[in-house]
Amino acid sequence: MLGSLRARLIVSFALVVALAVFLAGAGALFLLRDNQQEDARARYGRLTEPLTLGIAALAADNTRSIVDIEGFIDDRSREYGARILLLDGDQVVVHDTEGGQLEGKYVLSFESTEVRSDESRGLRYKWASFDSGDDDVTLFASEVSPGDSRFAAPEYQALIAIPKDKLASAWLELVPRLALAGAIALSVSFVVSYFISRSISGPLARITQASKQMAQGNYDVFIPIKGQDEVGRLSEAFNQMAKEVSTSQRTMKDLLANVSPELKTPLTSIQGFSQAILDGVVTEDDDVKEYSRLVYEEAQRMRGLVDDLLLLSQIESGQVSMDHRRISLEQLLVHTMERFQWAIRDAGIQSGVSLERLPDVVGDARRLEQVFSNLLQNAVRHTPPGGIITINGKVLVGGHVSISVHNTGSYIPKEDLARVFERFFQVDRARARKGGSSGLGLSIVKEIVEAHGGTVRAVSSEERGTEFIVVLPNPRSAEARARRPSPETPRRSAPAVRDDGPLPDRPVPSP
């Protein structure tokens, strides 16, 4: 029964409630013990006055005898459930309702013995302890005096005798009621603990079931989140984990599916050309050189692909350390554009650079140059002859630096914009393959920019072309993070700057 978490929770809650009820009941009995004894004395004390007045009335009636008085006392004893002693004027017991045990014996006189009276509750009675040798009782007598009654001083006196242990155990009368209250509380606790345990074990059971599904290869699982407590946060964390695992599995499958043809094509070419040379099919020196050149180019293409994959995996795993130094972003952009001038001229397109006064940034100059080189290479590849490539730089509100690489003549559909930074994703695969693209350039751009605490995004329209916008963090905050001695402090990424509107007008530079 206790094998499940729900059962253990129910039992645990019930035990806690039972312990609390027991302690509360014990405390109540301890605190109410004296009060119960006082209530018991008051209950018997208030019976003394009507008993005394009744005996006085019978004694005043000349037609009544001692037998009538004894009968009256016996009736009151059964009615009260108490022992009554009838004393004469000499304090000698003349009648004892408890089988006549004390008849003929002298009992204390309330006038000569130390007694205690109780008028705190509007009752007038007195009581005192008496030990006859066989019985240890408490005697109760009325404080009615001759002046208080229309009867003369009674010839007889009645005492109510209650065993002391009966008065001492008066608190036991509370036990049944406390036990009933405890039973009700325990029953309610079982019901409440059932619902509480279900609210805890239910999500855990769903997480367990979802984990089993993930173990069987189904990674598209989702657990409904109910509440923001620890269980809710656990469900949220599990959903995030499942999403990441699903993304990783999908990425791995896509990687295998995409990298296989990318490697197979150059391998096939290398194998074919080298086999032709090995079989002697190609004998002319010029043909051998041409085949050797093709083998070399395909090998270079494979090496570039492998290098890009290795770089991506190293950046994602944190194995590539960025050299955070203050660098001139203007010089870096101008130098990068100069390196692409030959490729731009060969493609028959124009270029321009429009930079505001940009502050120095903190980062790795070689990696940032690789970012803008990949963006320019991508722009050259997709800009038709007669198009324009422009680099724009400006300082945003908050000190962040925005660099955009814009080219005309190319368009990325809206449904593909969110995927352009995925590995091997290419809008026009035939054109990209012809241009020697591996489909990893933009993925490398994204990883390097995010490693610098920045963001990158793409904006495209049929009228204005395509623009890639890189936002680097405020140089002052970036430098402060780079100098921070404690590596345990998490880095803050630069906030993304949304710009979903149309591309701004740019001046067309002269060729």
Over the stretch 1-39, which tens digit does the pLDDT of each residue have?
Answer: 555 666 777 777 778 877 887 777 777 666 666 677 777
76 in a domain, yes or no?
yes
Whether 118 and 127 have beta carbons less than 8 Å apart is answered as yes
Of residues 145 and 234, more confidently modeled: 234
Identify the weakest region by mean pLDDT among 3-7, 39-43, 321-325, 481-485: 481-485
Q: Is residue 494 assigned to a domain? A: no
The domain total for the chain is: 3
Tens-place pLDDT, residues 136-163: 788 888 876 544 444 444 578 888 888 8
Q: Residues 282, 354: one domain?
A: no
Q: What's the rounded Cα separation, in Å, for the pair 69 and 64?
A: 8
d(CA 13, CA 23): 15
What is the average per-residue pLDDT within 401-423? 87
- pLDDT for residue 375: 93
Q: Higher pLDDT residue, 509 or 415?
A: 415
Q: Assess if residue 448 is contained within a domain.
A: yes
User: What percentage of the chain has pLDDT greater than the value 70?
Assistant: 77
Q: What angle do CA 125, 131, 136 make, to 5 degrees?
A: 80
In a domain, 489, yes or no: no
Last residue of a domain, one of 320, 338, 371: 320
* Judgement on whether residues 41 and 91 belong to the same structural domain of the protein: yes
In this structure, what token pair is assigned to residue 458?
A: 């793409």
End-to-end CA distance of the chain: 85
pLDDT at 130 over 90: no
pLDDT (0 to 100) of residue 350: 92
Answer with the one of 256, 291, 320 that is the final residue of a domain.
320
506 has pLDDT over 80: no
| pLDDT at residue number 489 | 37
Q: Check if the beta carbon of residue 475 is closer than 8 Å to that of residue 454.
A: no
CATH of the domain at 383: 3.30.565.10
How confident is the prediction for the chain on average, in pLDDT? 77
Query: Pairing between strand 93-96 and 83-87?
Result: antiparallel
Is pLDDT at 232 greater than 80 in this prediction?
no
Q: Which of residues 320, 341, 372 is at a domain's end?
A: 320
Amino acid occupying residue 382: H
> How buried is 169 (Cβ within 10 angstroms: 0-12 exposed, 13-18 middle, 19+ buried)?
middle
Let me know whether 184 and 314 are in one domain: no
Domain that holds residue 184: 1-218
Cα Rg of the chain, angstroms:
51
| Domain match, 304 and 357 both | no
Q: What is the DSSP string of 80-146?
A: HTSEEEEE-TTSBEEEETTTTTTTT-B---TTTS--EEE-TTS--EEEEEEE-SS-EEEEEEE---G
Same domain for 144 and 277, yes or no, is no
Give me the pLDDT at residue 471, please.
Answer: 94
Q: What pLDDT is stored for residue 420 in this prediction? A: 86
Judgement on whether residues 201 and 269 belong to the same structural domain of the protein: no
| pLDDT beyond 70 at 122 | no
Q: Does residue 261 sit in the same domain as residue 367? A: no
- On whether both 243 and 358 belong to a single domain, the answer is no
Q: Show Cβ contacts of residue 179 under 8 Å, excluding neighbours closer than 6 positions.
A: 25
Nearest C-alpha neighbor of 336 from the set 495, 470, 510: 470
Q: Is residue 495 part of a domain?
A: no
User: Which residue has better confidence, 483 or 364?
Assistant: 364
Q: So what's the pLDDT on residue 106?
A: 81
Q: Which two tokens stand for residue 406?
A: 């814009």
Higher pLDDT among residues 166 and 295, named by residue: 295
Residue with tokens 């710009």: 499
pLDDT above 50 for 497: no
Give the tens place of pLDDT for each residue, 460-477.
998 889 999 999 988 776
Task: Find the CATH number of the domain harbouring 111.
Answer: 3.30.450.20
pLDDT, average across residues 246-262: 71
Q: Render pLDDT for 163-211 as a digit per residue (tens, 0 to 9).
A: 877 776 666 666 777 778 777 877 887 777 777 777 777 777 777 888 8
Looking at the fold, whether 202 and 232 belong to one and the same domain comes out as no
Residue with tokens 């980062």: 363
Instruction: Note the Cα 35 to chain centre separation in Å.
Output: 48
Cα–Cα dist 441/457, whole Å = 14
Q: How sure is the predictor about 282, in pLDDT bands with cuts at 50, 70 and 90?
A: confident
236 dihedral zone (left: phi>0; alpha: psi -120 to 50; beta): alpha
Residue 506 placed within a domain: no
Same domain, 170 and 224: no
Give the CATH number for residue 315.
Answer: 1.10.287.130
Greatest mean pLDDT range, 78-82, 401-405, 437-441: 401-405
Same domain, 248 and 267: yes
Q: Rounded mean pLDDT of 336-362?
A: 90
Residue pair 344/375 in contact (Cβ under 8 Å)? The answer is no
pLDDT band at residue 110 using 50, 70 and 90 as cut-offs:
low
Would residue 508 count as lying in a domain?
A: no
pLDDT, residue 509, reads: 40
Query: Average of pLDDT values for 102-120?
Result: 67
Give the H or E element holding residue 293: helix 285-316
Token pair belonging to 115: 């007694």
State percent of the chain over pLDDT 90: 13
Write the pLDDT tens digit of every residue in 63-88: 788 888 889 989 988 888 888 888 88
Q: Which residue has the higher pLDDT, 348 or 264?
A: 348
Provide the residue count of the chain. Answer: 511
Whether 110 and 236 map to the same domain: the answer is no
> Strands 136-142, 465-472: parallel, antiparallel or unpaired by DSSP?
unpaired
Q: Is residue 504 part of a domain?
A: no
Distance CA 364, CA 351 (A): 25
Mean pLDDT of the region 360-369: 89
DSSP structure class, residue 62: T
* Positive/negative CA dihedral, 45, 46, 49, 50: negative
E strand residue ranges, 156-292: 157-163
Other C-beta atoms within 10 Å of 349: how many?
21
Which residue do the tokens 């009654």 mark?
Answer: 149
**pLDDT (0 to 100) of residue 349:** 92
